[in-house]
Amino acid sequence: MVKIKRSYTVAPSETTPTTTLSLSLCDQIKLSNHGYQLYLFINNNHSHSHSPPSIHTLLTSLSKTLTHYYPFAGRLNYTHKNHFLQLHCNNKGALFLQATSDLTFKNLGNFDSTHVVQKLLPKINYDVPIEHVPLLVVQLTEFPCGSLTLAVALSRSLVDGASVSNFINSWAKLAKGQNFNSTLPPFLDRTLLDSKILHKPPRFQHHEFSPPPLWEEDSNNMLHRIKKPLYETTMLKITKNQVEKLKNKANNEKNKVRGYTSFEVICGYLWRCVCKVRFEGNWKQPTRLTTLVNCRKRLNPPLPKNYFGNATFPTVTKTCSFDDVVHKPLGNVVGKVREAVEKMNDEYVRSVLDYIANEKDMNLLKDRFYNFAKNKGQFGGDPNLYVVGWTNFPFYENDFGWGKPDYLVPGIINSDGIGKAFVVDEGVGGGGGFLVTVCLQPLHLDALKKLFYEDIEMISSSKL
């Protein structure tokens, strides 16, 4: 279905510093694998068509971009003490794959499948030492119908959504022949997110790093006894009008100084829907929602706008029951999301940094945060929801010379993330709506696709 025609190693076009950089404490809590973005450029003969890209132009512009973003051309390694990550800026380069596919697609529906998306993402070998794993891998795939996909895999330890957006935007501008001076150069000093008070205990209880709730044994069936259950993804479209309906319901139930944001409402509503379809007879089943908060502007002083690195910190809602999430008013569950987001102020984030700095083994912290349910749970998966927001970033402005992308699809297939979701702006012509990509067990996905829309229509007139 997908054939790799050629691979290229892309190094910075000019001499860049060769040095070893310590990653920030925020970088240290991220996984060392890659996060994926899949851009779709659809030629449906009814809108614009995409001229075949010049591989030379893409490679040359990427090389120029890496001159400024040279950490992407380096490699990671672990320190012997505490398993902290270091970044060797050694100019080993990024990997670019040129591919073709016999798939023909005309709409987003072709990508409502884990298997299709997976084939369009670059394969990365994690069986080799981490020092040999490229931090940036790109795959361009061309289709007989004239459509294109551009998949970008970026090391989670290096960047978050804001940094990714700045990098790809810079690359796209250079590919179109624009001057790099038209964009801000990356700010590479990561010491701004290190602990300022070493060996002082944190000032808060950081429940985001405490073990999450697990499935309890009291259920009506044996579904969760499958230790490694199957999982699939689906893509749910939610229009601006539908979001407004949810906002109106949630805001009317709670007298708030400011109305709930679209992201807060979508998170709370999705959490409720997921709990409904997962319910197996135990309304006391504990659950919580985890999300990431971009803290660049929440710090005092704020981080530079062009800060290159991770500045998103995890936050969790208070643990509650399925009954709380499903049967209490929508404003109640959305309020739990807001509470988790709003607590991420300067004082709290500084305490998080001190918490991380006091950890004796970073691998143990990450294992507890990412893999606790998988390793310790008696049953497969976990009863929680992890939501990532990719909204309000100019991803759809990335024009490499053959038009702006029609859609952005997250590649969450490598996350073992049963109970993970991405909220993304719908894109060009979306009317202000959103795409919600959800990863659940297949049985739950079928129920979710039906319930998600039914409840929105009922919500204005019911006591949901």
Number of structural domains (the chain) is 2
> pLDDT at position 51, please?
63
**In terms of domains, do 214 and 185 share one?**
no
**In terms of domains, do 176 and 216 share one?**
no
* Greater pLDDT, 381 or 420: 420
Q: Which of 263, 212, 32, 219 is nearest to 128 (CA)?
A: 32
* Within-domain flag for 200: no
Q: What is the pLDDT of residues 367-414, one digit of tens each?
A: 888 877 666 666 667 899 999 999 989 999 999 988 899 989 887 654
* Within-domain flag for 202: no
pLDDT band of residue 106 (cuts 50, 70, 90) is low
pTM: 0.93
* Within-domain flag for 204: no
* Within-domain flag for 336: yes
**In terms of domains, do 114 and 220 share one?**
no
Q: Which of 193, 220, 246 is the endpoint of a domain? A: 193
**In terms of domains, do 268 and 382 share one?**
yes
Rounded CA separation 341/258 (Å): 14
> pLDDT at position 83, please?
82
> pLDDT at position 232, please?
85
**In terms of domains, do 233 and 268 share one?**
yes
Question: Is the pLDDT confidence value at 113 over 70?
Answer: no
> pLDDT at position 207, please?
93
Q: What range does the domain containing 30 cover? A: 2-193
Q: What are phi and psi of 186, to 5 degrees?
A: -65, 140
Query: Picking from 190-199, 262-271, 274-283, 292-301, which range would have the lowest pLDDT averaged per residue?
Result: 190-199
> pLDDT at position 265, please?
97
Domain harbouring 73, CATH code: 3.30.559.10
> pLDDT at position 411, please?
79
CA torsion angle 260 266 268 274 (round to 10): 170
**In terms of domains, do 178 and 262 share one?**
no
Q: Which of 193, 225, 250 is the endpoint of a domain? A: 193
**In terms of domains, do 113 and 261 share one?**
no
* Greater pLDDT, 108 or 382: 382
* Within-domain flag for 203: no
Q: Cβ(331)–Cβ(269) under 8 Å?
A: no
**In terms of domains, do 442 and 301 share one?**
yes
> pLDDT at position 462, please?
63
> pLDDT at position 274, please?
97
What mean pLDDT do residues 405-432 have? 79
Q: What is the pLDDT of residues 214-259, one digit of tens each?
A: 988 765 555 555 556 678 888 999 999 999 999 999 998 765 678 9
**In terms of domains, do 439 and 360 share one?**
yes
Question: Is the pLDDT confidence value at 11 over 70?
Answer: yes
What mean pLDDT do residues 20-27 have? 93
Q: What is the pLDDT of residues 119-166, one digit of tens each?
A: 899 999 999 999 999 999 999 999 988 889 999 999 999 999 999 999
Question: Is the pLDDT confidence value at 416 over 70?
Answer: no
Q: What is the pLDDT of residues 53-69, one digit of tens each?
A: 689 999 999 999 999 99
**In terms of domains, do 330 and 397 share one?**
yes
> pLDDT at position 414, please?
47
* Greater pLDDT, 403 or 46: 403
Question: Is the pLDDT confidence value at 349 over 60?
Answer: yes
